Amino acid sequence: MTTKEILHSTEEKMKKAFESVNREFLEIRTGRASPALVEGLHIDYYGTPTLLKQLASISAADAHLLVIQPWDISAIAEIEKAILKSNLGVNPSNDGKLIRLSFPQLSKERRQELAKDIHKMTENGRISLRTIRRDSKEHIEKLEKDKTISEDDKFRGVDELQKLVDRYIAKVDDLLKNKEKEVLEF
């Protein structure tokens, strides 16, 4: 394996770590109701954990209302249970065919709690990126130790690795800044 291959593999892992943080951010409730808030909920559908987005159509009727229309009406009770277990802080209302989720305006305290959660998620994302960097750096150093690459190649590889990490950490920080602004604005 060459340093170029290691860097390519590292970048793929970093993309996945970044996408994971981005997905977590989508599930954080801001002032608007978004289908992304509930799409990832796992529903016990005939004994199999199934994503809500695979069982129903989810739409935002307005800024504070989500409408969930299951394709199989018998799944409504399980969908309600999953929503109640989640930390969304809303109670579903069910008319036998549809589930409506009404999201009240967030209080200042709740917005500040969400901002803290976002910071924790961001720090976890940074930790993931640094862990990927450490593993890749060890791999590059092992190549040099095994005389597969020269010392100069090792230094170039480690330098490129650091640039890659810095770029992805900056992307995560941008996500944080945008999401924090979104959560804290009234």
Give which of 125, 161, 145, 116 is closest to 3, Cα–Cα: 161
- Which CATH class name applies to 3-26+107-184? mainly alpha
> Which CATH code, of 3.40.50.720, 3.30.1360.40, 3.40.50.300, 3.40.50.10860, is assigned to 36-102?
3.30.1360.40
Confidence of residue 23 (pLDDT cuts 50, 70, 90): confident
Answer whether 175's CB lies under 8 Å from 22's CB.
yes
Tell me the one-letter amino acid at 129. L
User: What pLDDT is stored for residue 18 in this prediction?
Assistant: 94
Residue range 45-64, pLDDT digits in tens: 888 888 888 899 999 888 78
What is the residue extent of each domain of the chain?
A: 3-26+107-184, 36-102
The pTM of this model reads 0.72
